[in-house]
Homo-oligomer: A and B are copies of this chain.
């Protein structure tokens, strides 16, 4: 019997599914899948790093359950979210003769989840898929909610589909093999949920950060609370026509910085989000919306978690402010020229502002670069 510490239900009607959180769910996936989805075949999509660290646990369980599967292994890293890799995964699923009713398993971080989910969405016009997130970021954010996709030379995640998984299995011990820098980057998204609309959760994080990083029971609880938060938002606004945009807190700045650093190891996605959240708080303060002490508290917490919080924390030279502004304008949360940003009135009080003046953003960025 699988040990399940937390279950979060994503109540999306026909597309409803569960997120299971537990210590050994990767080994137990075979048994769980065999029971939930009898008679299916499987296409596992993963990356080279996760294949080394976690794939044997998964295949051992699938073998024990007598399930039939093929495995597609991709290079690790953000540049895998590309047209070429999409083609590779789709063609791999077709070569494996998987049918519409079969299941794709995304075993990995957000890169694998986004790409494999998108490939499942378009193969035979839609195959089912299961998320087995192995990074903290994927467990608390990207594996839930059905946003899938790849990057374009024009910007991140500009090509994709809404395609909900049938099940999410978040295995806590998978995080044991995750690089600590990656763990910290994922933690930025954990903090995000507090900053959006849950000041009590932010406080709880301030009190439990050390235990979350060291792997005590607070880790599973934090993940469950994040999933519950995300599920609530996705249920309210599956296709991001409204409140779901709040989840982009810190992301407009963050995506521009990621683009500028070439999606390289100079800046991980979560690190970009960490800096972006601090910038969003600082910019809101500059606009007279939020108290300066909240910005400081956010920055202090992220910094204590080992995250970068200022433009100057990014190694190497940043592009020009013009380049950053162009990246911000191309981000997909743009409507008719005016910029849309997630701003805030303080910790736990984020809101969507669709009329942000690009000049004010530019001036603020110029100032931040000088720091």
Q: Report if A121-B152 is in contact (Cβ < 8 Å); known contacts: A83-B87, A99-B335, A101-B335.
A: no
- Interface membership of A159, Cβ < 8 A: yes
- Interface membership of A214, Cβ < 8 A: no
User: A118 — which chain B residues lie within 8 A by C-beta?
Assistant: 122
Q: Is the CB of A125 within 8 A of B147?
A: yes
Q: Smallest CB-CB separation from A41: which chain B residue?
A: B336
Q: Is the CB of B154 within 8 A of A94?
A: yes
A277 to B271, CA, bound (A): 59
Q: Is the CB of B123 within 8 A of A159?
A: yes
User: A152 — which chain B residues lie within 8 A by C-beta?
Assistant: 90-91, 94
- Interface membership of A332, Cβ < 8 A: yes
Residue of A125, A239, A330 contacting most chain B CB atoms (<10 Å): A125
CB proximity of A103 to chain B, nearest CB, Å: 14
Q: Is the CB of A161 within 8 A of B101?
A: no
Contact of A162 among B125, B157, B330, B335 (CB under 8 A): B125
- Interface membership of A158, Cβ < 8 A: yes
- Interface membership of A359, Cβ < 8 A: no
Q: Which 9 A-B pairs have the closest CB atoms?
A: A94-B154, A125-B160, A83-B87, A124-B332, A122-B159, A90-B159, A94-B152, A94-B158, A125-B162
Q: What is the oligomeric copy number? A: 2
- Interface membership of A126, Cβ < 8 A: yes
Q: Report if A161-B99 is in contact (Cβ < 8 Å); known contacts: A152-B90, A152-B94.
A: no
- Interface membership of A286, Cβ < 8 A: no
A86 to B86, CA, bound (A): 12
- Interface membership of A315, Cβ < 8 A: no
Q: Is the CB of B158 within 8 A of A123?
A: yes
Given contacts A83-B83, A122-B160, A125-B157, 11 further A-B contacts (CB under 8 A): A83-B86, A90-B152, A90-B158, A97-B330, A99-B332, A99-B334, A99-B336, A100-B332, A122-B122, A123-B158, A124-B332
A97 to B147, CA, bound (A): 21
Task: Mark each residue of chain A from 259 to 288: 1 if its CB lies under 8 Å from any CB of chain B, else 0.
Answer: 000000000000000000000000000000
- Interface membership of A149, Cβ < 8 A: yes
Q: Is the CB of A161 within 8 A of B95?
A: no
Q: 29 interchain pairs (CB within 8 A)? A: A83-B86, A83-B87, A90-B152, A90-B158, A90-B159, A91-B152, A91-B154, A94-B152, A94-B155, A94-B158, A99-B334, A99-B335, A101-B335, A118-B122, A121-B161, A122-B159, A122-B160, A122-B161, A123-B158, A124-B158, A124-B159, A125-B147, A125-B149, A125-B157, A125-B161, A125-B162, A126-B162, A126-B239, A161-B161
